[in-house]
């Protein structure tokens, strides 16, 4: 499984506005609705419910919000670089400015877990996050995320 199989160029957002998780999730849910064909409110509620279980921040300013949702027939990913960092109550105390969002079908099972593991491995080192923070447009961010070296991080 590669990152390119999880996101498309239209699933990359740069300078996402918002001063809170809720505001950022609202903006992201709108794009995810377009990408998936699902209801924006259902996506927003899925992300918010998962976040209530515990933060999806993994540290170093990175979060991986995710959830299973009815009506979806494939994994749908989205990468967002926030306009300004937002508090996600991360264990390391750092606010989040990079997010990889993953939606999965309700019956995704192992595919969902494999995709989450793949995304987490991608962000394991500091180099990728640094490159993404320096990029200022969607095409560059997509190229960085889907570069062969990034995909070999598995």
Domain boundaries, position 36? 3-148
Structural domain includes residue 42? yes
112 noted as active-site residue: no
> Which one is predicted more confidently, 74 or 152?
74
In a domain, 43, yes or no: yes
pLDDT at 122: 87
* Total-model pTM: 0.92
Q: What percent of the chain has pLDDT over 70?
A: 95
> Cα separation of 96 and 82, whole Å?
8
- Is residue 154, in this structure, part of any structural domain at all? no
pLDDT digits (tens, 9 = 90+) for 122-140: 888 778 999 999 999 999 9
pLDDT at 147: 87
CATH of the domain at 101: 3.40.930.10
Q: Quick one: tokens of 13? A: 């957002």
Quote the radius of gyration of the chain (alpha carbons, Å).
14
Residue 116 lies in a domain: yes
| Confidence grade of residue 109 (pLDDT, cut at 50, 70, 90) | confident
Give me the catalytic one of 11, 29, 42, 66.
66
What does the alpha-carbon distance between residue 92 and residue 100 come to, in Å, rounded to a whole number? 18
State pLDDT tens for residues 13-61: 999 999 999 999 999 999 999 999 999 999 999 999 999 999 999 999 9
Number of domains making up the chain: 1
Residue 153 in domain? no
């Amino acid at each position: 499984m590669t990152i390119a199989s999880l996101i498309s160029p239209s699933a990359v957002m740069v300078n996402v506005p918002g001063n809170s998780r809720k505001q950022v999730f609202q903006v992201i849910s709108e794009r995810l609705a377009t990408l998936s064909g699902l209801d924006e409110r259902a996506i927003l509620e899925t992300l918010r419910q998962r976040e209530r279980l515990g933060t999806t921040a993994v540290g170093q300013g990175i979060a991986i919000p995710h959830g299973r949702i009815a009506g979806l027939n494939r994994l749908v990913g989205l990468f967002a670089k926030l306009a300004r960092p937002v508090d996600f109550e991360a264990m390391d105390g750092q606010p989040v400015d990079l997010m990889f969002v993953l939606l999965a079908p309700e019956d995704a099972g192992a595919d969902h877990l494999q995709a989450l593991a793949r995304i987490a491995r991608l962000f394991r080192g500091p180099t990728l996050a640094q490159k993404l923070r320096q990029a200022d447009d969607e095409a560059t961010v997509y190229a960085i995320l889907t570069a062969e070296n990034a995909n070999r991080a598995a």
